[in-house]
Amino acid sequence: MQRSFLMSALVLALAAGSVGCGGGGGSGEPAKDGDSVKKDDGAPAETGDPAVDLQAVSDGVTKDVDAIFQPIRDIDAIVQSVIDLPKDLKAAKSKVDSKKVIAELKKILTGADPVLDGLKLEDDAKAKVQERIDKLKALKKSIDDLPQAVTDLPGKLADAVTKGGAIAAKSIGKLQVKIKAPFGVSADDKKKATDDMAKIQKVMDDFKAKVDGWKKEITDIPGKAKDIPGKLAKAWGK
């Protein structure tokens, strides 16, 4: 599962947190006030607020990671929802044979679509079954996509580190100039600059904490994936 490459990217991401404690940009000169952070395509960042822009970078990576792992994280809840389906259908006073419904759900993990038309599900019962279908399809997709997704993830993390590091370094350089200015900068402006630095550092620290969690998770995921067939067998009543 390309774990070594992923680990390297995660270590790189952790290292990026040290930018928050450093000085200005790579040139050693603070950015001018009129400068704005640029995207990869040369367009300005949407906000120009470094804390907000850094948070957007962090959120983007988190979204990518969640898309890969969330269904596998939720495997126990998904299995339990299938186990509970006959009970939920009974509570909805459905006349459908729950065993036939489960038989259709099993098709999802083979890549086939369940056929519900012949089951004559009532509206409430159909909604409950569709909820399980959606969860199982997400799980199937997560399992199928996992090898390629994990292979692609280091590049996404590295891009985020590069982009976030550039935003942080450039912004902190400007803020430090204001904080250390012997004159020409008001006390209020210095306080705001100090507060802005604290916000940037918090985003970086939060991202480092997420990366620590991902490091453990990528180690645990293979074991969880291996357990899925057995857990699903429980859901199918075997």
Closest C-alpha to 92, from 63, 67, 51, 128 = 128
pTM strictly above 0.75: no
DSSP assignment of 67-106? HHHHHHHTHHHHHHHHHTHHHHHHHTT--S-HHHHHHHHH
Closest C-alpha to 208, from 2, 21, 4 = 21
Number of H helices, E strands in the chain: 7, 0
Q: How confident is residue 114, by pLDDT bands cut at 50, 70 and 90?
A: very high
- Find residue 38's DSSP bridge partners: 44
Mean pLDDT score across all residues of the chain: 77
End-to-end CA distance of the chain: 30
What is the per-residue pLDDT for 136?
92
What is the per-residue pLDDT for 26?
37
Q: How confident is residue 64, by pLDDT bands cut at 50, 70 and 90?
A: confident
Residues 15, 227: contact at Cβ < 8 Å? no
- Find residue 44's DSSP bridge partners: 38
The domain limits of the chain are: 3-15+46-235
| pLDDT above 80: residue 8 | no
